[in-house]
Structure 1
Amino acid sequence: MSQPETATYRAAGLLGPSWLRTLWSPVTNVEVVATGGRDARLDMFRGIALVMIFINHVPGTIYESFTSRNFGFSDAAEAFVFMSGMAAGLAYSNRFRSGSLWAAIARVWARARQLYFVHIVITMLCLAIFAAAAKWFDLPEVLTRNNISALFQQPLSALVGIPLLTHQLGYLNILPLYMTLLLATPLFLLVGLRKPWLMLALSIALWAAAGQFRFNLPNFPNSGGWFFNPFSWQILFVLGLLSGAAMKVGQRFIPYRPAIFAIAAAFLVLALFWARIPQLGEAGRAMLAVLADMGAPFYITAFDKTYLALPRLLHALALFYVLGHLPIMRNLASSAVVAPFRLLGRQGLAVFAVGTVLSLLLQVIKTPRVPDPLVDGLMLGGGILALLALAWLLTRTAELTRARSVA
Structure 2
Amino acid sequence: MRTISYRLPQERALVTELPGPKSIELAARRRAAVAAGVGSSVPVYAADADGGVVVDVDGNSLIDLGAGIAVTSVGASDPRVAAAVREQVGRFTHTCFMVTPYESYVQVAEELAALTPGDHDKRTALFNSGAEAVENAIKVARLATGRDAVVAFDHAYHGRTNLTMALTAKSVPYKKNFGPFAPEIYRMPMSYPFRDEAGLTGEQAARRAISRIENQIGAESVAAVIVEPIQGEGGFIVPATGFLPTLVAWARSNGVVFIADEVQTGFARTGSWFACEDERIVPDIIAMAKGIAGGLPLSAITGRADLLDKVHVGGLGGTYGGNPVVCAAALAAFATMREFELPARARRIGEIATRRLRALAEEVPAVGDVRGRGAMIAIELVVPGTTEPDAYLTRAVAANALEQGVIVLTCGTYGNVIRLLPPLVIGDDLLEDALTVLDGAIRAAASV
Higher strand share: 2
- Larger RCO: 1 or 2 (CA < 8 Å, sep 6+): 1
TM-score range, shorter chain: under 0.3
Q: State the TM-score, normalized to the length of structure 1.
A: 0.27
